[in-house]
Structure 1
Amino acid sequence: MDVTLAQAQNLTSPAPPVIDAAPAGFAQRVMALPPQRKMMLGGGLAALLAIVVAMSLWGREGDYRTLYSDLSDKDGGAILAQLQTLNIPYKYSEGSGAIMIPADKVHDVRLKLASAGLPKGSVTGYELMENQKFGATQFQERLNFQRGLEGELTRSIQTLSGVEGARVHLALPNQNGFFREQQKASASVVLTLHPGRTLDKRQIAGIVHLVSSSVPEMSPKAVSVVDQSGELLSGSPDGGPEQSGLDAQQLQYVRTMETNYTQRIRDLLEPVVGKDNLRAQVTADLDFSQVESTAEEYKPNQTPDAAAIRSQQESVQSGAGAGAQPTGVPGAMSNQPPTPATAPINGASAPLQAAQAGGAAGAGGNGGRRDSVTNYEVDKTVRVTRNSTGNVRRLSAAVVVNHITKTDAKGKTTTTPLKPEELEQLTALVKESVGFNEQRGDTVKVINAPFQIVKEEVQDTPLWKQPQVLDTLRTLAVPGALTLLALIVVFGAIRPAINAAKPPAPAEDPNKSRLTAVVDDQQELPALAGDDILPALAAPGPDRRLEAARKIARENPVAMATIVRTWVNND
């Protein structure tokens, strides 16, 4: 049976068209689901909505601020109990020890806690006096007053920068009017400084005066201040010289001098032996005695022409000799002859000449006397010498140098001691760096010894145990859990229900795909049977015929399948 293209066209014309039914809507498909699928879809949507609402509320509550931090266990527990009573949400950070609440409630909660007396703090002040019992004795009242004063001073000191904590101890003796000499009050302060922080002399003096001014009749010298390592920051407790005979400033000066000498040695030897291969210590003996000497020098007497006149006095007496009457005290003393004349050392006078003049005047009948005294300035030099304090009396330096460390090609480490000539060179360098003076009694000792290196085992805290990581995990735990739950609901309940409500995909005819492949490939088309050859058509060309055949195969695959089946049967 021969089937031509025209016959194929005739066969396609009476074929009924294929009309697909209109697909049902999504709502109809959902209603057609089984009850179990409907329950899964409804429950999944409700759970997803609840998760979205919870995540939005969680994000809204994320703005938390610190209410209090660095609280004692007692105050922290009391504040948490009060927050639970007030129904206020809170968070506690173990890393920083802070209690955080919503930012819009911080000020209100602080006022409410303050009205309840929280936080009380580990230090109590004058509030001890508010709860006095009716039968309290005078000793108890005085003890509570002392404790309250210590607490107030502690609070004041803790407000200073660099001070982490403080404790104040007061010794207040009983004042009795029957004692002639009253005991003086004293105080001691223990400071806990922040890591890496120190207090200068002015800050320490401020703490000393703060404590002494708060207690009546307490001298600043009666206040002792120490740090957490037990080092005395203020002067000696009795205000006098310390055991070494030096005060605090002198001791600080000695330490500074020793540190400077030690640093000189390190700066000089570290480039030679290495930074970690050197240990040096210098002890300085300084002289803080104050010596003051005064010397006076006098030059020999000078001639009257060269000497400076300091004072001059001259007196002249004259009278008539005829009318002169003997005067004086009667007796043996007035009848003695006149004494010989003498000249003073620093000046010239003329008593002899005056006596001779008087004699001549007496001989002539006239009497007279002339006295002249001249004082000259003495050439004197006064020298006051005062020695400076803090002079170096003696120096002692000790230096330990490590062995030379070498590593061979295989990575093996060996140590070798220094040679004697190398030690002598290092000793000479140390002497020059500290200004060695043998007459002063200075000593320098340099030795070579291997250093014992102790490896410290650092205990690394696991990452999941670190407070910062724990806080981060707690912060992200709820959002992460909600997100995971949302994914489980979407992929476990909602998505399967939606896939079940989708319309089924139409079944694909295998012959249609084969026919399309065959028609698309022109070389695979079989030849027509028989000798009858279709007449050539004027139009369209071969390409148009092929396109027409492909169009027929797409529009009516059933007819085209019949044609192909006929071709196969004929063969």
Structure 2
Amino acid sequence: MSAITPLLQRLPPPARIASALRSEAVAKLLPVVFLAIAITALVMMFVWQNQSNYRPVFGARESVPAADMMSVLDAEGIAYRLHPETGQVLVSESNLGRARMLLAARGVVARLPEGLELMDKSDPLGVTQFVQDVRFRRGLEGELVQSITALEPVKSARVHLSIARSSTFVLNATQASSASVALHLHPGRELEAEQIASIIKLVSGSVSNLAPDRVTVVDQAGRLLSSRVDIKAGLDSTGFANEAQRKAQDTLLRNAHQLLQPVLGANNYNVSASVELHQDSVKETQERYEGDPRITSEASREELSRQPQALGIPGSLSNRPANPPPAEGEPPSTAERNAATRQYAYDRSVTTIERARGQVKKISVAVVLNNAAAPAGASAWAPAEIARMEQVLRGGLGIDTARGDQLVVSAMAFPAPPQAVAWYAEPQSVFTMAGWGLSALGALLAYLLIARPLIRRFTREAAAPREVGTSELLELGPRGGEGAAAPAGALPPGSAAVAALPQPERPAGQRDSMGSLLENYNLPPPGSPVDVLVDHLKDLATKEPERVAEVVKQWVQKNGHQPA
């Protein structure tokens, strides 16, 4: 604080600073200062606008040789800049399209990774199998990148393959092959479920023994896209269900609007619909047997044998005597055998039903009617009219009671619609009017601070100065004790306020002495405005304060007032 005090003491007093600011030199310098500030601001705005209009020719992740780009732009005379952080080549927005066309014509475009063209290179002697395998893998990755970037939402891609080595022995089989895909999508674009599944199928089908479930797909935000896809169905397990449900609800709402809007009007009803879908695919086989059985084939067999039956032990001779013959009158022994085979068949029907997921399970619809839209000008809806409207909606929306669908129709009083906001109260209108107001204020300040002082200065200098004699100048002074006004010819026209001052008469000697004090001063010509006269008097008082004080002192003395 002690070091600052001497510095503060050296500063000029505030009165002196204010007097310096009110001086004519500062008044003449202010318009020039304001004009310089305005020109500097305009130049800075132009430079900033010019810098902000530079755009990159190619993206940051696109592989483009910068040296070739700069050589082409230099040859065509197109101004360019280099981004200090990313090193991208920037050109003005007006020349962006022309620069891209010229670069494309000269063959300077974004280079994609090389594919199997790598295999066309001649290998020197002694190249190992490992080097050839790596080159093949890189070529296959490049081919997959070129195929994936052909999709419209994909801006760029990278593919990493881990190909398992095949082995003749089962026990020596290594880990299965796998793949990873990193996608960089265009701003605002998203991949649908079918597109994600197609990328997985594309990669898995390009590598032998690569299962689709071992392919990982991510985007530039780090989201695991492959986890949202059902590989077997090729659809998003959760997204497909939500999309199908949304479409079903939109269809119901659209049908309801088509039924109600022509009759009630757009603002006289509200509809809410909810659809529940089956999320499982079901395959069902039914087999039925109907009616009484019928004989399709029948076979019968009868055998009768009258030969005597063999006795004894088979395969051995009997040491017994032969059997005695049968007595007369006794019938011989016989053998009889009957067999019947019948085949029966029923009426048989086999039915196989396969239900895909997404089938409608249940529908719930709620409709609220406005009492103000009741028919025949009634104050509320009658139950019969509500039942009639419900019947129409059941037929139009496909409500099935056996399936468990629900439809509720009720009538209520709707609140009055809000009044429209005036145009001047809208936020956009407020911002527009504020912008116009600021522009008008800026124009007014520019006129008052820059244009008007310059106009006044040029007008004052353009006016022809006139040498005023001492006798004419002294007519501004007092002329006698009676305070009579000066004649009209003594002052320029328009200076009635100055002419009204008391003007006592003075001796000729004193007039000469006062004239010698105020000679060689240019006064404004006759007819000058009052503010011009006042400015000249201020200028005179600023330049010669002692001499002006002497004149005023003589005026006071001759008017009968002696200074103390």
Classify the TM-score, shorter chain.
0.3 to 0.5
TM-score by length of 1: 0.40
- Higher RCO, 1 vs 2 (CA within 8 Å, ≥6 residues apart): 1
TM-score by length of 2: 0.41
